[in-house]
Every structure is written in C-alpha cells, then in structure tokens.
C-alpha cells in the first residue's frame, strides 16, 4: 500500500487540455494521471493514507481511492515518481538476527487446539504455525483480535472492512503465508502487500480440475519474489506439464510431532486396544491398519477388498465416520475404531503390524497420516502415486499403480486390490522383513520434523526477500510498434514488430535505432510493459503452444537480462 505522508517536492503537475499529467523531475519521467491521483498528490505531503481515503471518499468511491493508492504503490516499487525515497533493503548476503514478521492468511479462524482435527491440511497448517512461532512473529487473520502466545497473534480481518485491509497493507510484513492455495479470495492482496507471498500447494489434483485451476490463478499473478511451497517433488512434476517457470516451486517436506507419535510395546498396545474395543481378535491376530478418512478416493473400497482377500487377518481402521460404507455389509474381520484424539493415537497405531494405505486421491501430495504412522514404527504399504513414494522412501513397500492423465471424480489412479493384498501378506508372513521395515520407518520419520519445516520456510522467506531487493526497479521497457511489410522473397504482405531502442536522447544501447523483430517477440515485449511474466506466458501458450512459448520466453528473458543492467 502507498504509505503517506510523502514528499512531492520533486513532482510537477500540469494540464494539457482535458488531460492531467505529473512530471518526476528527478527521473525526467512524465505520466498521464486521473483526477483521483491528482488529488492524492495534493494531500499526500501532509495527510496519512487513512486520512486521504477518508477525505477523498467523500468525493469519489472509496474503492477507487484505494485502487489509486495501490497503483501509486506499484509505481513506487518500479522506481517511478517516488524512486528517490529511501527503502529499507537488506544488503545481499546479510541475515538479520531480528525475528521476521509474517502475515498468515487463512479461510477459517486459527484453532489453538486441534486434538480432534481430522483433515491433513488443517493439522499441517496448525503445526507449521506453532513451529514458525519459534522463529518469527506471526499475525494470523481471523474474526477478532486475540493473542495465542508470545509470538502468535490473531488480528481481525474481513474483506468488506476497508480499514482492516488498509492496516494489513501498511504493516511492513517480511512475508505472507497462506493456509492453502485454494483460498483464492486473497489473490487481491498479492499486488497490494509489498512482501513475498508463499502459497502452499498441499493438493495437486481433484475436484474436477478446480484444484489445479486455483494453483494456476495464483501462478498467473505471482511476482518474481513469490513462491509455491510444495511438500514433495511430485507437485512440481505435475505442474511442469502446465507452466514454464518451475523454479517458483520450492519443496519443503512436512513434519511429524514425535512427542505424540512414537512406538509403544506392540503386544501391550494390542491387548489394550482389544479390551477397549471389545475385540479379542486384535490381540490374537496380525493387524492391518487404516488411518485416514474412510472415503472411496482414500482407498476405503480397496481396503475392504483386501480384507476379503485375507480373512485370517484382522483389519483395524480408525476414521471419523464410515461414510457410505456404514450401509454396506462389511467383512467380519474388519473392525472400526471411533475417531481418536490426536494425543492418544500412538497406542492405536502401535497396534498395527502393517499400515495399508491404498489412497488414489489426487490430493495425496504428501500423506501426513502416513508419516505419523511411520513414526510409530509401523511399516507402510502404499501405491506408487503422487507424493506417497517420496515419504515412504525405502522404509516400506510401494505397489505399482496406474496413474490417470485425467482424473475421474477425485481419483488420480488405480491400484489392484490383489496386488496390495499380496504386498500385505508378504510382510505378515516375513516377520524379520516386517520388523526391519518398521525400524526403518521410525528412523525415516525422525528425519521429518516441524522445526526443520519451519526453518526451511524462514530460509525461503529470506531468499525471496533478497530476490525482491535485487529486482530491477529501473527496468527499461522498449517501445514496440507493429507494421506490415512486403516480403520480397515470398512476394506478399506480412507483419513485423519494430523494436525502438532509444532510451535517451543521443544514447543508443544497441548498435542501431530500430530493429525488425518477429511478431511474437514484439508481442511479448509489449505485453510485459503492463503484465506479469506468467500472464504473458499464458497468452503465448494460447497462441503458439507450450513448446514454442517456452522458447520465445527464454529468448525474451535472456534479452532483458542482458540489456537491463
């Protein structure tokens, strides 16, 4: 947001007919402006931004006044009109010892207690916020102002409250973290808050393409110093099919709370769970566990089929509800435990001999429940889909699966129930291999911590701030014109772009004054004057296809990099 009061002694306003202009005498730049900006420049030397909005809100629509202030802020970032003003930018390579100030944008109120939480995204977000509080000061938007602990505060925010929105814009945050990329309503804040945005992509596919489209909306708006947080490389691999700038994806694995998820004596755990559920077969049989939402795309139907394949084995699941399967005849060797508080899950999970997770949902970018079960020393069996194999590593069995190019419903692939059953049976009949994998699973899970996730995220924010500081605020945009010309070889009229390279009187950056360029090059340079690089990428993809668009962009970016010092 454009912060006032601000000096305008270097600016000169003038009229020419019905048109209004402002000249930046320090930069020798003249811009055409509208009536609102004209009035803002009169008020900004003495009034604050809030006072300007209040004053001009009586003359113009308040939203238009805020939009005009945001446009001035954008010009300031680009080094226009207010480029001579000091900006607090850290030196390259320097790291401040002061805690970063991070704004957290989320759709629902921050929950200090997630004992009964079931959704992986909400659990991950809570644990990440808790860990980040060690390294940063956090403002979490919500319904009211409240203090959760020394470093985490809730701040009241509603989109229709213009004063609350303005407060966010002027708070000088070091970074902005979203709960999820599907919170598209926060897109409007990206161009208003002058801080790097980190947008988590915890879901890759699903919901009839809405999940991918939400990510692409963010991608189009993102600046060079914004980033996507992805928990596994599988998300980056998926989006590389649709976008050119894959450097915008940063892989930071999630963590596990080792104080809540740890191995207990398996024999004792089985006996206690058997008594609690009045199911003595749990203590007397091998146990194949399921810990997730019991939904079709999470593999519930496959899990039931595996239970039918192995009638001599006890299948124990815990889920908030059986959903549609509550109305079906389930195999007698399948036992359902009610949803457990998260701080009491370790005992139930420790009763598993193996963990069978045949999930085929397009949102399985990581598998938090998978990691929590591994932390309890239980060897996992998963299909080779999305991010699950990256979490398992060599600490479990990964069963071949068929991935769909286009999802059906929220299904991203298919796994054979018989293949999963064979994998389960192979571990149940090989105690040595099962125990070895259980130990490996525990050791691997110990390498995933929320503290490490938080530290990696702080390092990413610092990297993005350095990128922001190095952004060229004086980048030249070359004048481009388009004209028909007669191709003497083909004997026909064609079109070409003319690149005018004069940047100042009697100064030429290249050897000539004017260059004839292919239309696609000129179009790209012209669009980059007013649009972000990802928006231009979308246009080129539409006109020329992905492969050619990427070649054009590479050439254009190389040209700009070489010319703009």
Q: What percent of the chain has pLDDT over 90?
A: 46
The residue from 77, 109, 126 where one domain ends is: 77
What average pLDDT does range 18-31 have in this prediction? 78
pLDDT at 90: 45
pLDDT classification of 114: cutoffs 50, 70, 90: low
Domain boundary among 402, 436, 465: 465
The pLDDT score that the predictor gives to residue 241 is 87
Domain check: are 347 and 431 in the same one? Answer: yes
Q: Give the residue among 282, 279, 317 at the shortest CA–CA distance from 301.
A: 317
Indicate whether 122 belongs to any domain. yes
- Residues, the chain: 565
pLDDT at 78 (0 to 100): 66
What token pair was written down for 505?
A: 């009187």
Q: Where are the alpha helices (DSSP H) in 187-278?
A: 187-190, 210-221, 233-239, 266-277
When the pLDDT of each residue in the chain is averaged and rounded to a whole number, the result is 86
Q: Are residues 363 and 304 in the same domain?
A: yes
DSSP state, 125? H
Tell whether 420 is covered by a domain.
Answer: yes
pLDDT in tens, 390-448: 999 999 999 999 988 887 777 888 999 999 999 999 999 999 999 999 999 999 999 99
Q: How far apart are CA 106 and CA 245, in angstroms?
A: 26
Residue among 415, 367, 417 at smallest CA distance from 392 = 367
Asked whether residue 330 falls in the same domain as residue 415, the answer is yes
**Contact by Cβ (8 Å): 497, 517:** yes
Structure tokens at 523: 């179009």
If we measure between CA atoms, which residue out of 89, 78, 74 comes closest to residue 174? Answer: 89
pLDDT at 477: 63
| 84 assigned to some structural domain | no
Categorize the per-residue pLDDT at 160 as very low, low, confident or very high, splitting at 50, 70 and 90: confident
Domain count, the chain: 4
Asked whether residue 219 is assigned to any structural domain, the reply reads: yes
Q: Is 153 exposed, middle or buried (0-12, 13-18, 19+ CB in 10 A)?
A: middle
pLDDT grade for 565, boundaries at 50, 70 and 90: low
pTM over the 0.85 mark: no
Per-residue pLDDT at 504: 47
Residues 277 and 188 in one domain: no
Residue 141: which CATH number?
3.40.50.2000
Cα gap 33→19, rounded to integer Å: 8
**Same domain, residue pair 115 and 177:** yes
Q: How many helices (DSSP H) and strands (DSSP E) are in the chain?
A: 20, 22
How far is Cα 205 from Cα 404, in angstroms, rounded to an integer?
11
274 and 237 inside one domain: no
Same domain, 290 and 436: yes
pLDDT digits (tens, 9 = 90+) for 83-92: 544 444 444 4
Residue 165 pLDDT class (50, 70, 90 cuts):
confident
Residue 264 pLDDT grade (very low, low, confident, very high; cuts 50, 70, 90): very high
pLDDT value, residue 88: 43
Please check whether residues 272 and 378 belong to one and the same domain: yes
Domain residues for the domain of 559 are 479-563
Q: What is the pLDDT of residue 112?
A: 64
CB 335 within 8 A of CB 279: yes
Tokens of residue 435, six digits = 């125990």
Residue 307 domain-assigned (yes or no): yes
Residue 36 lies in a domain: yes
Same domain, 391 and 351: yes
Edge-to-edge, what's the strand order for the sheet holding 380-383? 334-337, 314-318, 287-291, 354-356, 380-383, 397-399
Give every CB contact of residue 387 below 8 A, 6+ residues apart in sequence.
204, 231, 232, 233, 234, 235, 364, 365, 366, 367
Domain-embedded: residue 533 = yes
- The reply to whether 440 falls in a domain is yes
Domain co-membership, 360 together with 390: yes
Which distant-in-sequence residues (6+ apart) come within 8 Å of 510 by Cβ? 501, 563
Three-class DSSP category at 155: strand
> How does DSSP assign 265-284, residue by residue?
-HHHHHHHHHHHHT-THHHH
Does an H or E element contain 555, and which? helix 546-563
What pLDDT is recorded for position 213? 87
Over residues 526-564, the pLDDT tens digits come to 888 888 889 999 999 999 998 899 999 888 888 877 776
Helix (H) or strand (E) holding 412: strand 411-414
- Crossing angle of helices 162-169 and 49-56, in 10° steps, is 150
Do both 397 and 275 map to the same domain?
yes
Q: Are residues 133 and 272 in the same domain?
A: no
Residue 97: pLDDT above 60? no
Q: Please check whether residue 286 is in contact with residue 427, taking contact to mean a CB–CB distance below 8 angstroms.
A: no
174 closest CA partner among 463, 451, 455: 463
Residue 106's Cβ-side half-sphere holds a number of Cα atoms within 13 Å equal to 23
Residues 161-190 have a mean pLDDT of 86
Torsion angle defined by CA atoms of residues 328, 333, 334 and 336, in that order, rounded to the nearest 10 degrees:
110
Per-residue pLDDT tens digits for 463-515: 999 988 876 444 556 678 887 877 788 888 888 888 766 454 444 555 566 67
């Amino acid at each position: 947001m454009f912060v006032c009061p601000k000096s305008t002694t270097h600016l000169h306003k003038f009229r020419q007919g019905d048109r209004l202009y402002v000249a930046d005498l320090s930069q020798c730049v003249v811009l055409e402006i509208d009536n609102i900006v004209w009035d803002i420049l009169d008020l900004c030397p003495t009034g604050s931004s809030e006072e300007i909005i209040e004053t001009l809100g009586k003359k113009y629509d308040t939203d238009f006044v805020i939009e005009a202030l945001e446009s001035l802020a954008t010009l300031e970032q680009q080094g226009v009109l207010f480029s001579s003003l000091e900006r607090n930018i850290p030196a390259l390579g320097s790291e401040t010892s002061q805690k970063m100030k991070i704004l957290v944008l989320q759709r629902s109120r921050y929950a200090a207690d997630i004992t009964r939480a079931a959704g992986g995204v909400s659990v991950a977000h809570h644990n990440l916020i808790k860990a980040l509080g060690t390294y940063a000061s956090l403002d979490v938007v919500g319904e009211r102002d409240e203090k959760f602990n020394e470093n985490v505060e809730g701040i009241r925010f509603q989109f229709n409250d213009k004063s609350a929105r303005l407060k966010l814009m002027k708070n000088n945050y070091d970074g902005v973290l979203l709960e999820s990329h599907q919170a598209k309503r926060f897109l409007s804040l990206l161009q208003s808050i002058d801080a790097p945005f980190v947008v988590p992509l915890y879901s890759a596919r699903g919901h009839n393409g809405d999940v991918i489209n939400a990510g692409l909306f963010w991608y189009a708006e993102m600046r060079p110093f914004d980033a996507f947080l992805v928990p596994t490389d599988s998300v980056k691999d998926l989006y590389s099919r649709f976008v050119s700038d894959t450097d915008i994806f940063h892989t930071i694995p999630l963590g596990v709370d080792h104080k809540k998820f740890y191995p207990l004596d398996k024999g004792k755990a089985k006996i206690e769970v058997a008594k609690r559920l009045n199911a003595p077969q749990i203590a007397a049989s091998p146990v194949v566990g399921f810990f997730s939402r019991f939904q079709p795309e999470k593999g519930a139907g496959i899990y039931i089929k595996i239970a039918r394949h192995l009638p001599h084995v006890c299948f124990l699941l815990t889920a908030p509800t059986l959903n549609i399967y509550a109305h079906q005849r389930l195999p007698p060797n399948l036992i359902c435990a009610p949803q457990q508080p998260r701080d009491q899950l370790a005992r139930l999970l420790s009763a598993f001999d193996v963990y069978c997770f045949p999930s085929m949902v397009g949102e399985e970018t990581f598998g938090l429940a998978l990691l929590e079960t591994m932390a309890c020393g239980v060897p996992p069996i998963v299909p080779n889909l999305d991010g699950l194999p990256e979490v398992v590593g060599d600490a479990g069995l990964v069963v071949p699966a068929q991935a769909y190019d286009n999802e059906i419903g929220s299904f991203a692939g298919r796994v054979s129930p018989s293949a999963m059953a064979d994998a389960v049976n192979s571990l149940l009949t090989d105690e040595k291999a099962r125990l070895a994998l259980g130990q490996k699973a525990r050791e691997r899970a110990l390498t995933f911590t929320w503290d490490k996730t938080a530290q990696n995220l702080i390092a990413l924010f610092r990297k993005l701030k350095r990128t922001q500081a190095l952004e060229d605020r004086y980048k030249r945009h070359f004048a481009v014109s388009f004209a028909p010309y007669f191709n003497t070889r083909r004997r026909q009229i064609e079109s070409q772009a003319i690149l005018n390279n004069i940047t100042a009187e009697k100064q030429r950056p290249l050897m000539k004054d004017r260059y004839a360029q292919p239309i696609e090059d000129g179009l790209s340079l012209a669009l980059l004057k007013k649009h972000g690089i990802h928006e231009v990428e979308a246009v080129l993809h539409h006109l020329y296809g992905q492969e050619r668009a990427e070649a054009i962009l590479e050439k254009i970016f190389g040209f700009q990099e070489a010319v703009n010092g």
